Amino acid sequence: MFAGGASEVRDRPETVGWKSVATAIHSMRQLPMPMLLTVVSTDAQPLWIDFSTGRYFWELPLTSIPAQPGGVTVYSQPIEPGNPPYPWVAWRAMDPLLWQIGGLAFGSDRATWMKPGERYALQRWPNLTEIPHSAEEIRMIATLANGYLTADELGLLTGSDAASAQRVLNMLSLMGAVKPAGGPIAPPSVIGQVQAQPAQQQQTQGSFGFFHRLRERINGGR
């Protein structure tokens, strides 16, 4: 615990992998009070996440993050006003950490807090200069900026498989970069944008053929 902090700490059972960590992070982000999350693993040094400032500290570089840490225990603790935790360490912005954990926690499965069939849209652009990303992931992020989509719809629109689309949605959701739709909303039409860029039309024709069939299915035209 940090000096002078609240004495109440909640201990969660030991697990293997990042799933419990990602679920705890998502839960902590929903709380109105500032919280400190401490993650202890038998494979790595303690990880601290300060939700009051959106920062984390870990002695490990993110390039060395274990794919499946063992013996993971998660502790949560309120942060008292005017008493920041561990002020002597070099805290870092937590988006790159959440991107990595979100990609490792659930594999191709849906994150535990996401509902089956729910659509999501981009709420804010992640800082792509700070996170490792592929061209496929950039396409998915840009597509989510156009409207609400499920993982299946996102995969169809970008020419990716649903598992890859779900993984990207998991990462963005853990970062708080996407928002769920309040109700069923049909995917936005972006065909006009494709026609305005003939140089790219050949590359995207296949995925937007899927989009046409997707819209027909959503509108009942099976």
For 71-115, the pLDDT digits (tens) are 888 999 998 888 888 889 899 999 999 999 999 999 889 999 999
Residues 86 and 124 in one domain: no
Contact 2, 36 (CB under 8 A): yes
Identify any residues that bridge with 35 across adjacent strands, giving them in sequence order.
78
Number of structural domains in the chain: 2
Q: What is the mean pLDDT of residues 114-123?
A: 94
Residues 66 and 148 in one domain: no
With a cut of 60, say whether residue 34 has pLDDT above it.
yes
- Tell me, what's the pLDDT at 216? 57
DSSP 73: E
pTM: 0.75
Other CB atoms within a 10 A radius of the CB of residue 103 amount to 21
pLDDT band, very low/low/confident/very high, at 26 (cuts 50, 70, 90): very high
Domain boundary among 76, 94, 112: 94
Contact 85, 4 (CB under 8 A): no
Residues 125 and 214 in one domain: yes
